Structure 1
Amino acid sequence: MIDFWLAAGLLLLIALSFILIPVLRARRAQREEDRTALNVALYQERVAELLAQREDGVLTDAQLETGRAEAARELLADTEGAAPARVSSLGKAVPLLAAVMVPVLGLGLYLHYGASDKVELTREFSQPPQSLEEMVARLERAAAAQPESAEGLYFLGRAYMAQNRPADAAKVFEKTVALAGRQPELLGQWAQAQYFADNKQWSATTQALTDEALKADPKEVTSLGLLGIAAFEAKRYQQAIGYWQRLMNELPEGDASRAALEGGIEKAREQLQANGVQVEAAPVAKAQASIKVSVDLADAVKASVLPTDSVFIFARAVTGPPAPLAVKRVTVADLPITVELADSDAMMPQLKLSNFPEVQLVARISRAGQPTAGEWAGRSKPLSSSTTALQQLTIDSPDK
């Protein structure tokens, strides 16, 4: 930000010079006009003396004309080279006032319509946050600077949930749905935030959101987990086990959420067994999905990037939430490179490759280190998330 203000100050000095230099020149011209007026007054005084001497008989007519001619030559010599008089209706106050008001007005317009907040935000995102609070503050400023970014709002809602602020998260997810559409994953996140915002009281709104999400995608993991919690709280233990087992099938092996789900299922079974109810066995989990992709840089782009620039390689759903499903981060210096994007690389348990039939591969160069925006990118055509063939991706286009 210091570089920006130094550049702005230099431009301000240049602008002031265009206004103040004519004012200074006008002052010099005024001094020349004053000197000319003094010379004319001295000439007139000399001519009056010559006339008086002729009246007294001291000078003849011939001597009078000679003296008058001499005085005229002296006047001409004194005023030679003087600039012609300039007529100005502005006076001195208006240019000086303009010299002050122009930069002040320009600064005010820039602060109102300019992008200083985005410049500062880009600098902030280039450094990793030191705490959850700092990350949330950055996401809030990003959402304020780009209110039409569904991706930014989605991450802000997730951060609010991590901060145990479900009411704020529910409002943000509602805005995200309005921007990105009524996608099942977003509806599930909205329902979960609303449930906790209502102090774990099941409502018609929560039921409608989960019903809509599961109707569009029966494997929507957030809705499955939420319905399992609601069923367990209502002592409908068999339903809770059913929802949680379906959720377990969607989670990769080693996922941290599996331990909590297994504990919940075990508690539900204990309650059923205490009531003499037979518990069904859990279904077998399905295999994970993974895609290998080779990423290279187009020759035309190499001169426009730095070796230290970040490169984000990720897969995102063709129809689904805007958040990436699996992400790898490298640098331009690492290119060309081959990476594997798998369910184990999912940013969140409910967002993984195997949950979506079609995905798009993206490689993005971001000098500021932001995965959501950059300078250059390469994108694949939609492809099946179960594909096993090596995919080729070239970064060759300006990022949009």
Structure 2
Amino acid sequence: MIDFWLAAGLLLLVALSFLLIPVLRSRRAQREEDRTALNVALYQERVAELQTQQEEGVLDATQMDAGRAEAARELLADTEGVEAPRVSRLGKPLPLLAAVLVPVLGLGLYMHYGASDKVELTREFSQAPKSMEEMTQRLERVVAAQPDSAEGMYFLGRTYMAQDRPADAAKMFERTVNLAGRQPELLGQWAQAQYFADGKKWSDKVQALTDEALKADPKEVTSLGLLGIAAFEGERYQDAIDYWNRLLAQLPPDDQSREALQGGITRATEKLVASGGKVAQAPAAKASAVLKVSVDLAADLKAKVQPGDSVFIFARAMSGPPAPLAVKRMTVADLPLTVELGDADAMMPQLKLSNFPEVQLVARISRAGKPTAGEWIGRSQPLASSTTAPQTLIIDSPDK
């Protein structure tokens, strides 16, 4: 911070110079005015002596005029080069008072509205912390200096959790939610901190937070893990297994927490069996639907299309929403071609091929690039979404 204060002091001196220099110049002008007034007084005294000598008959009129002219020349010589007197409307005390008040007032305003604490924090964060305590202190100062920083509060909450301070963490996550909105991840973190802050006692508040988080995002990992822990502590081992299996499905294959999570599932299974229960098998996942379709253009249309015209290939439900279930976009230049339409091509998660038993394949050429309207189209007969045999689709009709 010393370089900052040196720069601020230098700027302050520059500002004060605009106030003090006129004051110093006015003092010099005052001395010059005093010397001029003295010369004028001496001149008047000299003229008075000459008049007395003339009255006494010592000087005649000619000598009197010559003496007066000589005195005038001396006065003129003494006053040459003297600047015209300056009139100060402010007076001397006001600039001097301003010179004292400006730095004091400026310092006070900066300490109140300034950002010296943020400058110091920026300097601190340029260096790695030496301990978790030091990191915590830095984050606490960030939150104090920037009370509207949701990011700072979030990281401080995570740090409190790492230091086994769940009550403080719950407060930080609550403030974060108030600033950043009720995002599923934040709700899950808040619920977890509140659960441990309450001594691992499940409460209506924690239940409401986890319910809200999973309603917005059924794959929210913190809420799934927390519900599994609460179920295990409450000896609801089947629920714990179900929640942890859902969480396990969200983790990457190389995630280090998979081993610990799998160990928890194993312990819950053992306890369930030891208590005379039986592990319920998870329902088999529905097989993903994949339709393989070859698309070509009728011979009589090849001269009417352009290579850059868009070709939309999609499947839509025979009974259900009109929106396409799976879509791929190509161009006429790509024809003929073979593509696969499956659940991975779904436009919306709830609109998958596997969710509808019967579909229709459609290929549309649209010069304007619009999937809903075009110039030519080809349609298939209705077929089961579980069909595995390759399909052929010919674009041969005007799109009406």
TM exceeding 0.5: yes
Distance 1:267 1:104 in 2: 69
Q: Which residue of 2 aligns with 1:141?
A: 141
Distance 2:217 2:51 in 1: 115
Between structure 1 and structure 2, the one with the greater Rg is 2
User: Deviation of residue 216 (structure 1)?
Assistant: 1.7
Partner letter of residue 178 of structure 2? A
Q: Which residue of 2 aligns with 1:132?
A: 132
Instruction: Give runs of ≥4 in structure 1 deviating > 6 Å.
Output: 281-285
The question of whether the paired residues in 2 share the 8 Å contact of 1:249 and 1:284 is answered with no
Q: Deviations over 1:324-351 (max 9, x none)?
A: xxxxxxxxxxxxxxxxxxxxxxxxxxxx
1:30 corresponds to 2:30: yes
1:70 corresponds to 2:70: yes
What secondary structure, in the 3-state scheme, does the structure 2 residue paired with 1:185 have? helix
Partner letter of residue 44 of structure 1? Q
Distance 1:98 1:215 in 2: 64
Q: Which residue of 1 aligns with 2:95?
A: 95
Q: Deviations over 1:62-87 (max 9, x none)?
A: 32222122111111111111111122
Q: Deviations over 1:348-391 (max 9, x none)?
A: xxxxxxxxx9xxxxxxxxxxxxxxxxxxxxxxxxxxxxxxxxxx
Q: Which residue of 2 aligns with 1:237?
A: 237
What secondary structure, in the 3-state scheme, does the structure 1 residue paired with 2:142 have? helix
1:187 corresponds to 2:184: no
Q: Which residue of 1 aligns with 2:333?
A: none
What secondary structure, in the 3-state scheme, does the structure 2 residue paired with 1:252 have? coil
User: Deviation of residue 19 (structure 1)?
Assistant: 1.4
Report 1:113-262 matches (<5 A): 113-262=113-262
Distance 1:203 1:157 in 2: 20
Report 1:270-349 matches (<5 A): 270-280=270-280
Structure 1 stretches lacking a partner, 5+ long: 286-356, 358-400
Distance 1:151 1:62 in 2: 99
User: Deviation of residue 284 (structure 1)?
Assistant: 11
What secondary structure, in the 3-state scheme, does the structure 1 residue paired with 2:127 have? coil
Partner letter of residue 251 of structure 2? L
Distance 2:168 2:100 in 1: 45
Distance 2:283 2:246 in 1: 8
Distance 1:223 1:165 in 2: 19
The question of whether the paired residues in 2 share the 8 Å contact of 1:224 and 1:247 is answered with yes
Q: Deviations over 1:267-292 (max 9, x none)?
A: 3233223222223468999xxxxxxx
Q: Which residue of 2 aligns with 1:112?
A: 112
Distance 2:20 2:283 in 1: 83
Distance 2:24 2:179 in 1: 57
1:46 corresponds to 2:46: yes
The question of whether the paired residues in 2 share the 8 Å contact of 1:249 and 1:283 is answered with no
CA RMSD in angstroms comes to 2.4
Q: Deviations over 1:203-230 (max 9, x none)?
A: 1111100011112222211111111121
Distance 1:247 1:279 in 2: 18
In the superposition, relative to structure 1, how do residues 283 and 96 fare at CA in structure 2: closer, same or farther (>3 Å)? farther
Q: Deviations over 1:2-41 (max 9, x none)?
A: 3322322221221122111111111110110111111111
Partner letter of residue 170 of structure 1? A
Distance 1:274 1:164 in 2: 33
Distance 2:164 2:82 in 1: 80
In the superposition, relative to structure 1, how do residues 99 and 284 fare at CA in structure 2: closer, same or farther (>3 Å)? farther
Distance 2:29 2:9 in 1: 30
User: Deviation of residue 43 (structure 1)?
Assistant: 1.2
What secondary structure, in the 3-state scheme, does the structure 2 residue paired with 1:29 have? helix
What secondary structure, in the 3-state scheme, does the structure 1 residue paired with 2:148 have? coil
Higher mean alpha-carbon deviation, 203-212 vs 276-285, is at: 276-285
Distance 1:253 1:145 in 2: 41
Q: Which residue of 2 aligns with 1:56?
A: 56
Q: Deviations over 1:98-148 (max 9, x none)?
A: 122223323333333333333332222222111112222222233334333
Distance 1:50 1:201 in 2: 116
Q: Deviations over 1:144-189 (max 9, x none)?
A: 3433333332222111211222222212212222222222111101
Identity of aligned residues (%): 77
Distance 1:180 1:202 in 2: 26
Distance 1:197 1:3 in 2: 45
Distance 1:23 1:163 in 2: 62
Distance 1:51 1:157 in 2: 100
> What TM-score comes out, normalization by structure 2 length?
0.66
Distance 1:225 1:170 in 2: 17
Q: Which residue of 1 aligns with 2:264?
A: 264
Equivalent residues, number = 286
* Higher RCO, Cα 8 Å, sep 6+: 1
Distance 1:141 1:227 in 2: 33
The question of whether the paired residues in 2 share the 8 Å contact of 1:153 and 1:176 is answered with yes
1:15 corresponds to 2:15: yes
Partner letter of residue 230 of structure 1? A
Structure 2 stretches lacking a partner, 5+ long: 286-348, 350-400
Partner letter of residue 28 of structure 2? R
